[in-house]
């Protein structure tokens, strides 16, 4: 039950944010300082911040509806948030420039990675078949 609630929460976090970034790539300029200076850069923001993040939310939604996909979605959430967190922390160490956006992103990524991992550890099914 908690697993399904977490997947629904992940849907509500990732899907709308991805959709907003796809529709308005300029949204990131204010919050994170990411600015597109060419049409290619705008497309890149639409793809990476829009399409990818919306797809993560769609995966969480699908897994919330189809419980047999929950483990796969939790693995994906743990790996993706862990990758984002690791790269963000290393980037912060290399580049500096901590902001409220960075802190919020780190907090979210720690939460997602931790909860996904805890839910996977509590699962009765083996991680690999």
* Cβ contact 104:52 at 8 Å: no
Helix, strand, or coil (residue 96) = coil
Residue 115 lies in a domain: yes
First vs last C-alpha separation in the chain: 23
Q: Is 80 exceeded by the pLDDT of residue 72? A: yes
Average pLDDT over residues 54-70: 98
> Can you give the residue range of the structural domain that contains 42?
2-121
**Structure-token match 């743990």, residue found:** 78
Residue 128 lies in a domain: no
Residue 129 lies in a domain: no
Q: Is 90 exceeded by the pLDDT of residue 15? A: yes
Average pLDDT over residues 66-85: 97
Measured distance CA(52)–CA(72) in Å, rounded: 17
Tally of domains in the chain: 1
**Tokens representing residue 113 in the block:** 């990675």
Residue 126 lies in a domain: no
């Amino acid at each position: 039950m908690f697993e399904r609630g977490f997947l629904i929460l992940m849907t509500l976090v990732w899907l709308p944010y991805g959709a907003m970034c796809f529709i308005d790539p300029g949204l990131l300029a204010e919050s994170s300082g990411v600015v597109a200076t060419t049409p290619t850069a705008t497309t890149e923001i639409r793809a990476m911040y829009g399409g990818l993040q919306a797809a993560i939310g769609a995966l969480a939604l699908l897994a919330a509806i189809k419980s047999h996909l929950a483990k796969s979605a939790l693995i994906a959430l743990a790996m993706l948030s862990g990758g984002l967190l690791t790269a963000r922390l290393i980037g912060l160490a290399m580049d500096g420039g901590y902001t409220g956006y960075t802190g919020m992103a780190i907090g979210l990524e720690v939460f997602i990675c931790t909860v996904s991992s805890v839910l996977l550890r509590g699962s009765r099914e083996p991680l690999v078949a």
